[in-house]
Structure 1
Amino acid sequence: MVLDMFVLLLLYFGGVYCQAPIDEYVLNFDSPVYVCSDMESQSWVDTSGLEVVRYNETTAYMTGTINFLKGLDYSTMVELEVYKELSGQYEKTISHEICNLCNEIGKKDSLYFKYLKYFGFPDACPFAAGTYSVQDLKPDDADMPVNAATSGRYQVNINLYKNPDGTCKNMKTFIGCLKLDFIIEEL
């Protein structure tokens, strides 16, 4: 009887006062946007003016300038590839094509439209060659689940192509590649 009462009290007070801490995770940049090492990419854009700044232990943001040496127009296609580091190697977890970048970012409800304000791009295509300011870009954890199952290091490849018919199916010509590293980590 005494043992039963002790177990009951332990369960009651243990459940109320000794709950396990709730794990919290944060999404942060692990690098600024950087240019792929191939010649086409190097002759297309310069990201050396970008940096990641830590505001505090949980928040980092990207700021600076990005210089497009060539413009983007209505025939621009984007291929996004997200890789997660697993056992020391990166494995592709997500791939998404935007067949016509200008059409996509012209939609106010587009996931990509909201990022234009951070890069100082005009509200519509084409984007002329030139230097654009990146204003305190923070990763948005609404775009990706942030939890124990997704924790780890990631790399995003952003491949751009000329795709005159806008279908993603026919001939496309490589323009350039950008990369971005980010991390989901426990606080």
Structure 2
Amino acid sequence: TLPTIDILLGNTFEIHNLAAAQKITMESSDGDDIATFQDGGMTLMALQNTPTDRTHWRILKVVGGASPTFSVHRSSNQTISTTAATKIEWNAEDVDNNSNFDIATNHRFTPTVPGNYLFVIIVRWGSVTTAEAISMLLQKNGVGIYTSSGAADDAANPGNPGSHISIIVDMNGTTDYVEVQSDSTVDSSYDILGSSNRVSNFSGLRVP
């Protein structure tokens, strides 16, 4: 059941328990019994309970809501010179409709709308000279939550192994962030392959 709200025009109120909720400023034209209010990509329809003072409104429907979406990739190779886990520095942005991906400094996604997010990551490695399982790691708030490995089985010709991750993660819309690391237990010099064909990429969207 959607709530009844009691608020003066021009003030703000906060809707709780709605995935797309943000603070909304009430606005309407004189004489309207039904009004729509918009903020941050969310549309709220409300009906006046007391048409004369335009103070009491009953929420009829919440439509849509902000849906942060991003897609980034490596446009060129990133050389990693350590066996330690190292952050993949996504350096090209295709989509970032809510300006939530920091491509310049931290190379991480910090959504400002709470909810469940689907993340898809594809990584290809190059210059791998040792037979091993090389891994990528999705981290949330600096803690690994999912690992996927690509095997370079032939020491003489290990090739360009690859791997992918698809996972749904709950994000609080304020402090939670995700980033991707690469980890090699044997090879101390290798590349994250990058090109205009987006062979290594990271994308995500909020699940409605």
Range of TM-score over shorter length: 0.3 to 0.5
Greater RCO between the two (CA within 8 Å, min separation 6)?
Answer: 1
Task: Write 1 or 2 for the structure with the bigger share of helix.
Answer: 1
**TM-score scaled by structure 2?**
0.33
**TM-score scaled by structure 1?**
0.35
